[in-house]
Every structure is written in C-alpha cells, then in structure tokens.
Amino acid sequence: MKISIMKAVLEENDDRAQEITKLLKEKQILLLNLISSPGSGKTTLLERTVEFFRDKYSIAVIEGDITTARDAERLEKYKIPLVVINTDGACHLNSLSIKNALDQFDLNNLDIIFVENVGNLVCPSEFNIGENAKIAILSTAEGDDKPAKYPLLFRESELMLLNKTDLIPYTNFNKESFYKDLEKINKDLPVIETSCTKNEGLSDWFDWIEQKKQSGGI
C-alpha cells in the first residue's frame, strides 16, 4: 500500500519560526541571527556592538553553545538580559529553543535581540528561527574558499561580515578569489570588512543595524 504524504520535513520548525516572527513584529523587536564557524569572532563582535548600542537600545542576547556558558560569561559585564541555550551536542539552534529563550525575556522592554548561533557553517543555515536576517561572519584565517564550500549560508544571509581583516598579511587569504567566488554565489550580498580587535569597519556594521531597526526589520 502506498500513501502519499507530501509534507515538509521541517514544517514544525518553520511554523514555530513564523510565530516568532509575528510575535517580534508586534513587540517591534529586531532579531538578528549570527552564523559562523567557531572562532570567527562572533562574541567579540557582540561585545563591540553591545557597547555601541546599549545607551540607545535595550539589547538582549541568546547564546547557543554546545556545552559551556563561556561566551555568555564574556557578555555578563554589560548587565543585559542573556539566555544560554546549551544544545548538548546539537550543531544548531532551532525555533523551539529560541521560543523557550524568548519566554525568559521581558519582550515589552527590548529593541534588539542578537542570537549567537552554534559555531558551524553548515547546519544553522538550514533552520529558520524567526529572525529578521541571518548574518554570515567569516574570519580571514579560515580561508577565502569558504563561500564556495558552504554556499547555502552565503545564499541565505542578508549581510556578510569579513572579520579579522587585520590578519590578512599573516594568512594566505586571497581577497580577489574570495570576492570572485562570492560574486557567483550571491552577487547581491553586501560585505562589510571588519576587524573587531582594531575597531575597523564597525561603523558600517552599526549603520546597517540602525537602518534595519528603523525600517522595522525589513
């Protein structure tokens, strides 16, 4: 006996993601999903970003971490609402874990939520979490071939940060081949070159967030 199903495998995740999008729209909160490999500089980027925006906006952070709370501990000094999601080995956050994290915030008093996804270029890009935008972060030490090797993330993202540009002289990162690859995969993807430790390029990132916030996340 053959039974036709035609059901999306990730339907449950996508439905819940849509509920999150709706809830955050009502509350006028911007949700940004930061995706990268481990060690690309997401937490340092968040430190600089929270420092810049904390007097203007109420910010919260959701930290996806496989087993520790180390990234969250680095952000504790800012006294912002923080939730750590330990995925116990899972390689990505999903919309259920985000929904549970949101329940722990006072959503009436928040403007922007940053999600630091589990460090991984593959899996997080498959799971919508109700975000306004996915942001891909790549550090130069990882190599210029990453967009070509992991195209989905660079297709799904609305913005890309090329971080640790100050390290280029010490690596074999070839900017020309990086941009050539990216042009094939997603020519419309804006790229901001940053160095969080040298404070370079960050004003463009802050401007992007500000614009996204002003336009209601669209």
Partner 1 sequence: MHELTVVSNIFKIVLETAEKNNLIKISTISLKVGRQRHLAPDLMKFAFDSISKNTIAEQAVLNIDRVDIKMRCRSCNAEFIVKDNTYLCISCGSPGLETISGKDLLIESIEGEV
The rounded distance, in Å, linking the Cα atoms of 186 and 4 is 36
Where is 193: in which H helix or E strand? strand 191-193
Q: In what order do the strands lie in the sheet with 30-36?
A: 82-86, 59-65, 112-116, 30-36, 133-139, 159-163, 191-193
When the beta carbons of 183 and 207 are compared against partner 1, the nearer one is 183
Minimum Å gap between C-beta 128 and partner 1 is: 11
When the beta carbons of 25 and 155 are compared against partner 1, the nearer one is 155
Between the two ends of the chain, the Cα-to-Cα distance in Å is 47
Where is 186: in which H helix or E strand? helix 175-186
Minimum Å gap between C-beta 145 and partner 1 is: 12
Q: What residues from 177 to 196 belong to the interface with partner 1 (CB under 8 A)?
A: 184-188
Nearest partner of 212 among 47, 41, 29, 14, judged by Cα: 29
Using CB under 8 A, pick the residue from 33, 49, 94, 140 that binds partner 1. Answer: 94
Minimum Å gap between C-beta 21 and partner 1 is: 18
When the beta carbons of 124 and 217 are compared against partner 1, the nearer one is 124
Binding mask 122-151 for partner 1 (x = CB under 8 A): xx-xxx--------------------x-xx
Residues that bind partner 1 (CB under 8 A): 1-10, 12-13, 90-92, 94, 122-123, 125-127, 148, 150-152, 155, 184-188
